[in-house]
């Protein structure tokens, strides 16, 4: 099996699972209980949150644990007042787009390379804008956005608002779900007020994520109850998953540079050994994302043919693909319907080795050649 869909899901690391296990069976106590073994669990939980916070240059109290990136993204949008408006990058994941649409959000354009159109951003920010949401790395094409530049623009607007006595908050939110494996994230350096993290994309367990919330940002709870997570996210703490999340983040940080080099070399191998493709994501791209277009071929069919050879790739976001939707991301960067129909996303990761990359290139070439022959091209 050659799994090339790490952007859709990552296996849980064996050391991550090892870290989680004691908290299922032995240290299972409710962290809110009054007796010592429960208080020890509460302390371990806080420590885990602390190491997630530390990894992005934040404090423990800035981290709100959620059930994943979708909930974290939705929680970020609770910062909007009833009359507040929001902007989001047109290529955002559905978990940002759909909640932004609920708030009548306006889309910010991207250039043909997938990078934010800063002029369009500047044009669209008005005095009622309270939230701007731009993912650090796009989940379909792996393009890295210049968050620090966006933050600088926002800072200027804030100064101008201050001068004019406008008190509305203006927050920068970024979904960094795909980024933690390969980018050294620091919230102060990026200038984000809200940042989404996702355990399931960094070899941690599914069903857990986090929202970094700067102390300036004012959010509302999505759910009410026992008052956990600074009152923003009630419910008994998911201790084993957060312990696993912290371990996954720690390992990601530890292997950041090594992985970046490794994936960059694999990307080169793929691009040199594959034949007859058009490269879609050329620059400002996370090293483990390769998006290829086979003009005139049907990528859905290629996925099934590759599946027969035990090579697993995708056409884009799994949740969108399963509904047969055309990629709004590829459309936004100006691809034609035919190009979109022929586009494959390959994302590598820890389930791979270099030999597999060579083998995948060979298998994909064979499948594409056979398919072209069948179609008489």
Residues 90-109 that bind a second copy (CB under 8 A): 93-95, 98-99, 101-102
The CA distance from 326 to 154, in Å, is: 32
Distance of CA 216 to the CA centre of its chain: 24
Q: Is 362 in the site for a second copy (CB under 8 A)?
A: no
Site residues (CB under 8 A) for a second copy, limited to 207-226 = 207-208, 222-226
- Six token digits for residue 47: 């420590």
| Cβ 243 to a second copy shortest distance, Å | 11
- Six token digits for residue 19: 């870290």
Q: Is 196 in the site for a second copy (CB under 8 A)?
A: no
Minimum CB distance to a second copy smaller for 98 or for 109: 98
Size of the site for a second copy (CB under 8 A): 72
Binding mask 5-44 for a second copy (x = CB under 8 A): x--xxxxx-x--x---x--xxx-xxx-xxxxxxx------
Burial of 159 per CB tally in 10 Å (0-12, 13-18, 19+): exposed
> Residue from 140, 193, 237, 350 that binds a second copy (CB under 8 A)?
237
The CA distance from 315 to 140, in Å, is: 8
> Residue from 104, 322, 373, 376 that binds a second copy (CB under 8 A)?
322
| Cβ 306 to a second copy shortest distance, Å | 8
Q: Is 136 in the site for a second copy (CB under 8 A)?
A: no
> Residue from 122, 235, 296, 377 that binds a second copy (CB under 8 A)?
235
| Cβ 151 to a second copy shortest distance, Å | 25
Burial of 15 per CB tally in 10 Å (0-12, 13-18, 19+): middle
> Residue from 138, 314, 343, 352 that binds a second copy (CB under 8 A)?
314
> In Å, what is the CA distance from 208 to each residue of 52, 161, 182, 363, 373?
12, 37, 20, 35, 46
| Cβ 163 to a second copy shortest distance, Å | 36
First to last CA, the chain: 29
Q: Who's near 335: CB < 8 A, 6+ residues apart?
A: 280, 293, 343
| Cβ 78 to a second copy shortest distance, Å | 10
What is the full DSSP assignment across 274-326? --S-EES--SSB-TTEEEEE-TTS-HHHHHHHHHHTTEE-BSS-HHHHTTTPP
What is the full DSSP assignment across 341-358? HTEEEEE--TT--HHHHH
Binding mask 39-68 for a second copy (x = CB under 8 A): ---------------------------xxx
Do residues 173 and 29 lie in contact, with contact meaning Cβ atoms separated by under 8 Å?
no
Site residues (CB under 8 A) for a second copy, limited to 241-270 = 241
Please name the helix (run of DSSP H) or strand (run of DSSP E) that holds residue 152, with its range, or none: helix 147-163
The one catalytic residue among 38, 111, 222, 319: 319
Site residues (CB under 8 A) for a second copy, limited to 293-312 = 300, 303-304, 307, 312
The question of whether 293 is a catalytic residue gets the answer no
Site residues (CB under 8 A) for a second copy, limited to 66-85 = 66-71, 73-74
Do residues 294 and 302 lie in contact, with contact meaning Cβ atoms separated by under 8 Å?
yes
> Residue from 190, 200, 251, 357 that binds a second copy (CB under 8 A)?
200
Catalytic residues: 319
């Amino acid at each position: 099996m050659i799994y090339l869909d790490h952007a859709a899901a990552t296996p849980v690391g064996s050391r991550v699972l090892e870290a989680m296990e004691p908290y299922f069976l032995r240290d299972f106590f409710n962290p809110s209980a009054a007796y010592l073994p429960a208080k020890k669990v509460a302390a371990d939980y806080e420590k885990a949150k602390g190491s997630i916070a530390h990894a992005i240059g934040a404090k423990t109290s800035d981290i709100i644990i959620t059930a994943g990136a979708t909930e974290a993204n939705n929680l970020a949008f609770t910062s909007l007042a009833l009359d507040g408006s929001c902007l989001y990058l047109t290529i955002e994941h559905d978990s940002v787009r759909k909640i932004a649409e609920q708030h009548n959000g306006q889309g910010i354009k991207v250039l043909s390379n997938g990078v934010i159109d800063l002029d369009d951003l500047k044009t669209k920010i008005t005095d009622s804008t309270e939230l701007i949401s731009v993912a650090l790395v796009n989940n379909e094409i792996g393009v890295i956005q210049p968050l620090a530049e966006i933050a600088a623009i926002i800072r200027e607007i804030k100064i101008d608002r201050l001068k004019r006595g406008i008190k509305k908050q203006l927050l920068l939110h970024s979904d960094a779900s795909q980024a933690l494996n390969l980018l050294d994230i620091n919230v102060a350096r990026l200038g984000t007020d809200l940042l989404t993290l996702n355990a399931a994309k960094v070899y941690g367990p599914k069903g857990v994520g986090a929202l970094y919330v700067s102390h300036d940002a004012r959010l509302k709870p999505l759910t009410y109850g026992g008052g956990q997570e600074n009152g923003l996210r009630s419910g008994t703490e998911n201790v084993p998953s957060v312990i696993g999340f912290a371990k996954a983040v720690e390992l990601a940080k530890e292997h950041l540079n090594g992985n970046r080099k490794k994936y960059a070399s694999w990307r080169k191998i793929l691009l040199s050994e594959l034949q007859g493709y058009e490269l879609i994501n050329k620059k400002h791209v996370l090293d483990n994302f390769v998006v290829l277009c086979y003009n005139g071929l049907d990528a859905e069919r290629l996925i099934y043919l590759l599946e027969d050879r035990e090579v697993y790739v995708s056409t884009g976001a799994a949740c969108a693909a399963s509904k047969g939707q055309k990629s709004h991301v590829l459309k936004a960067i100006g691809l034609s319907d035919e190009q979109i129909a022929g586009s494959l996303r390959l994302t590598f990761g820890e389930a791979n080795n270099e030999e597999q990359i060579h083998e995948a290139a060979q298998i994909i070439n064979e499948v594409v050649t056979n398919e072209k022959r069948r179609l008489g091209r």
